[in-house]
Chain A
């Protein structure tokens, strides 16, 4: 191929060109000028190819004598011509090509693909809809089966027979618990403050400002602390679980575990589910304290309630049942969020986009799941008169 210097220059020295001329029993396609990526071929190869008219069995000779410079653009075009010749039943006469051009062409043309190498065509719409539906129906079953496996793995853990990696379990516990403290704390202080602010504006209209502490305490302990904490954990920890497992899937790490005879549910899912099952209720208690503190901070600012008065009303408004309700909700939320993360992580595809999809799906399913389960809890609590 021509000198490197000319190839790098943006403008070609000789514009590319072509002519077709007929000889007896053959057509000659004569190329001239620079046939390079940067010489502005824009459409010339196709135009040249379209010009050729030949009866089957006749030969096409390609003459590159007038070509001044070329790079891969020329053999790429010639290869396409060779394929076209095969399709049309023409004979490509390559003898007049320079030797190195012929060698590259031969290398690129050998090893024709096996018929099975072609990827399948996209299926028709109706079929895709059907497959999609069946897949969704199947995925419910998969999720239930994963839950069952986790319960069984739990049983094995209690018998002391589960295989897991202690260091990894500790890391998960730390990531799900201690590392989440700042963000869970911040969000709950703000939520407590917002409830207090909105509440105080309303209550002051009735001159019932003293009831603010009751309102903040009940809203926080019964609902907000548990739900907000679970939502934060879903975005933080659930997403991390999904991304981690999906990446492992892509690296064949999960296959390696299976081959070693380590059940991935015991090794990967169980520590994560247990970590959130334990940590979410603890984070919930912490969130309650900070939520009430946030409410207090606003209450003193707006109503000038004293700390003792505020605390007195708070303690009076709460009872252990409410904490029990919130903590048991948190326990369920924790399991739910961890299961979503692990489930979507484990069934992820094996590429970079799949990691993103798994993470998104895990967070969406986690948050929707938390809110839905919370609604069920609200109905049950009402029925039980808590």
Chain B
């Protein structure tokens, strides 16, 4: 993964199984959102392959890519709601585009999805009239509306209060158990990582490669890389890393 000649991450290799909650961890700016953009087909990786059930995304035809993408639900980091539409219209859009649901069914489905994320009653609000955390949840409702098989969530709990964040974890687990969907979650929220992560990858911004694979719980107990430990225990990095050395040399 790189932008022009600027390398972001290399040697990234992992597999997400059906019905698994896969967490992408790493410091801010380490390339998590970029990895997500590669996974959902917005950015072509400069080397390597991305396969969905054996189908190579970038090698397939445009129609195949469209069909694959229709099975994704994506929550972007900023919510990415359409600002000129109300929450109702935002969530209803995928239904109107890709299903034959009649207006009454659409209405029932939208109310159900908004209810799932705790936003019932906010149908007629515009994105600029609600808070950042609510925008995030509305974005999640839109991502969920077609019952995707693969759900990508970029920092879903950023901007949420602890109670809503906990509720969101329950919702994610419920979705996985109910629909058998695979869910890729980018998160910094430690309690939530430990609560939901079945598997994961840790991207390191300094060495520009993943430095650990495994579920957050497993990594906490078995990975002794100082930066992973610092991240998962919320402590300062305890090693003579490059930065400290520079200071000592002086």
Contact = CB atoms under 8 A, between A and B. Distances in A.
Interface of A: 1, 3-4, 7-8, 37-38, 40-43, 45-46, 71-73, 75-77, 79-80, 100, 103-104, 107-114, 117-119, 250, 349-354
A351 B130 CA distance: 13
B118 interface: yes
Contact of B104 (A38, A46, A109, A117): A46
Contacts of A42: 100, 102
A4 B149 contact: yes
B147 A7 contact: yes
Given A72-B113, A119-B125, A250 B102 contact: no
Contacts of A103: 174, 178
B120 interface: yes
A-B pairs with lowest CB-CB distance, top 3: A113-B121, A351-B83, A108-B115
A351 B129 CA distance: 10
A45 B121 CA distance: 22
B84 interface: yes
Contacts of A109: 115
Contacts of A100: 174, 177-178
B171 A351 contact: no
Interface string B122-142: 111111100000000000000
Contacts of A38: 99
B41 interface: no
B111 interface: yes
A8 B118 CA distance: 28
Nearest to B70: A8
Contacts of B43: none
A280 to B, nearest CB: 34
Interface in B53-103: 71, 82-84, 86, 95, 99-102
B116 interface: yes
Nearest to A111: B118
A119 to B, nearest CB: 4
A118 B121 contact: yes
22 contacts: A37-B101, A41-B101, A42-B100, A43-B104, A72-B145, A73-B105, A76-B105, A76-B111, A76-B112, A76-B113, A77-B105, A77-B108, A79-B115, A100-B174, A103-B174, A104-B174, A107-B116, A108-B115, A112-B120, A117-B122, A119-B125, A351-B127
B189 interface: no
A45 B108 contact: yes
Nearest to A119: B124
A76 B144 CA distance: 13
Given A1-B180, A72-B109, A349-B128, A114 B115 contact: no
A111 B82 CA distance: 25
Given A80-B112, A107-B115, A351-B126, 14 more contacts: A1-B180, A7-B147, A41-B105, A42-B102, A43-B104, A72-B109, A76-B111, A80-B111, A100-B177, A103-B174, A107-B171, A107-B174, A117-B122, A119-B125
A353 B122 CA distance: 21
A352 B84 contact: yes
A354 B111 CA distance: 27
Nearest to A250: B83
